[in-house]
Amino acid sequence: MPQLDGGGGDDLGANDELISFKDEGEQEEKTAENVSSERDLDDVKSSLVNETENNSSSSDSEQAGSHRRPQHHIPDWESYVRQREFVAEALRRQQHDSGMFKASLYAGYPLLMIPDLGNLANLGHLGNLGNPYLSPGVLSPGTRTYLQMKWPMLDVPGTSALKDPRSPSPAHMSNKVPVVQHSHLSPFSPLLSYSPDRFPPQTPPPHLSADTGLPPTPHPAELSPYYPLSPGGIGHMTHPLGWLQGQSMYGIPAGGFRPSYPAALAMNSSMSSFVSSRFSPHMVPPPQTSVPHSAIVSTAIKQEARDSNQHGRCAVSMGDREEEKKPHVKKPLNAFMLYMKEQRPKVVAECTLKESAAINQILGRRWHTLSREEQSKYYDMARKERQLHSQLYPGWSARDNYGKRKKRKRDGRPETAPEGQITHTQSAAPEEHFSPQLKKSYSHLYPPINDELPSCHAPVPASLPRH
């Protein structure tokens, strides 16, 4: 795995990514020859897919040669670093002025809490500081707010494990944040959009510091490889997730989150946003007091609860009521979903498409054109997402969400051949399987003869075999 530097201890438990790549016929341990042949294979695959997009002016360099260029991120790195430094400086001043936290204690701690982020947000263009993660109205003056920071953002001694310098990303790939984003949303922060519901402010329990809201004792045993702590340097620090797991800030029961959602969620909001430094080198400063974890969605469950009540409140048992109280905890996003969230705005801008079905097809093809390094970034993000999710919701299971949605109709499309069923993961050219509905929607993009894919640029011939 390219992003896995074996030395830093940074990427423990990356097996999922290995599996993911292996699933695509790529093995982590390969000889140079194998790598070469693999590259050839990838190039073939890439060239096939890129036929649709190479004709654009923007993809001149995205040729089927032996090198693929990173598609979007590198140009953004400088601006990102500048902004990061600016924010870091602002935070240092904030720390110095407010004395809210000691650098020695929180250095490298991805979560910083300041009493009033509004002041910080007023620092000129810092209004965009948390922007990818800031929902309008989330910040309010006087609200104690967490600032989410990623390790490289702070000058942390002993962060050698942060990243292998050979890594494609100087800090960590997951720290990159696409600059081309809508200012009001983050491609990697579904957390902020999951639920507008707020939970009542709660008072931190006595065992937590009144100033920081953090527990006084660390949980070194629960340190995540993604938030490495140097034993000698900052080993005394509380792991960002440590206090979340064992002694939740606002009291996640030891057995899990289920029995007391609101309390747990109040904590989860800040934690999720913070640990969901996931993917953000900036900050994710949702109010500590109210915004639940992104994975918590209220609408669906509310709807269900409403329906359930309509069916007869008398029949609702206590257990059912507890069920109704359950917030809908969404699944963590997988690598491709993260990729889509990041890239969708770009595709929309490039292709002037808005319909997600078509965009997703384009993105699905672009996904396959990504190099391993590029994909590994998203696998890494997804792994963090899952780790965070599992720690935020220890008792959650994907099965909990089964049936929350209406069952998808599967008879709408022609069945694939019985033998060797073509699934969405191994289908032929996607345009071949464009539903009549989608084609109809894009009739203006479908030349009547060619029946083309609504791609940005030159479409792939329908007969083009695809991996």
**Positions that interact with DNA (CB under 7 A):** 16-17, 19-20, 23-24, 185, 190, 193-194, 294, 297, 300, 303, 328, 330-331, 333-337, 340-341, 344, 354-357, 360-361, 363-364, 367-368, 375, 379, 382, 386, 397-399, 401-410, 412-413, 421, 423-425, 427, 430, 433-435, 437-438, 440-441
Distance, CA of 101 to CA of 80 (rounded, Å) = 25
Pick the closest to residue 151 from 121, 192, 111 (CA basis).
111
CB of 21 to DNA, least distance (A): 8
* 166 vs 410, beta carbon nearer DNA: 410
With respect to DNA, which residue has the nearer C-beta, 313 or 354? Answer: 354
Residue 94 or 276: the one with the smaller Cβ distance to DNA is 276
Q: Toward DNA, which CB reaches closer, 249 or 382?
A: 382
List Cβ neighbours of 337 (8 Å cut-off, separation of 6 or more).
382
Kindly state the smallest distance separating residue 88's Cβ from DNA, in Å.
Answer: 28
Residue 232 or 255: the one with the smaller Cβ distance to DNA is 255
Q: Which of 284, 282, 303 is nearest to 405 (CA)?
A: 303
For the chain, helix (H) and strand (E) counts, in that order, are 14, 4
Rounded to an integer, what distance in angstroms lies between the CA atom of residue 433 and that of residue 132?
Answer: 35
Sign of CA dihedral 400, 403, 408, 409: positive
Q: Choose among 181, 179, 208: nearest CA to 192.
A: 181
CB 102, min distance to DNA, A: 36
Cβ closest to DNA, residue 57 vs residue 421: 421
Q: Contact at 8 Å (CB) between 312 and 320?
A: no
Between the CA atoms of 330, 332, 335 and 338, what dihedral angle is there, to the nearest 10 degrees?
60
Select 208 or 363, whichever has its Cβ closest to DNA.
363
Task: State the minimum distance, in angstroms, from the CB of residue 406 to DNA.
Answer: 4
CA distance 256 to 356: 36
- Closest approach, Cβ 206 to DNA, in A, equals 34
Cα–Cα distances in angstroms (integers) from residue 18 to residues 3, 31, 45, 300, in the given order: 11, 16, 20, 34
185: which 2 tokens?
A: 């949303």
Token pair for 110: 């991805």
Least separation in angstroms between CB 117 and DNA: 23
**DSSP letter (8 states) at residue 287:** B
Question: Residue for token digits 């997009």?
Answer: 53
CB of 234 to DNA, least distance (A): 29
Closer residue to DNA in complex, CB, 87/353:
353
- The least CB distance from residue 399 to DNA, in Å, is 4
Q: CB of residue 17 vs DNA: minimum separation in angstroms?
A: 6
Of 141, 77, 148, nearest in space to 111 by CA: 148
Nearer to DNA, 106 or 226 (CB): 226
User: Please, what is the minimum distance in Å from the beta carbon of residue 370 to DNA?
Assistant: 9
Helix (H, G, I), strand (E, B) or coil at 339: helix
Closer CB to DNA, 120 or 192, in the complex: 192
DSSP character string of 29-50 = S--HHHHHHHHHHHHHHHHHHH
Asked if residues 380 and 173 have their Cβ atoms less than 8 Å apart, the reply is yes
Q: Which amino acid is at 156?
A: V
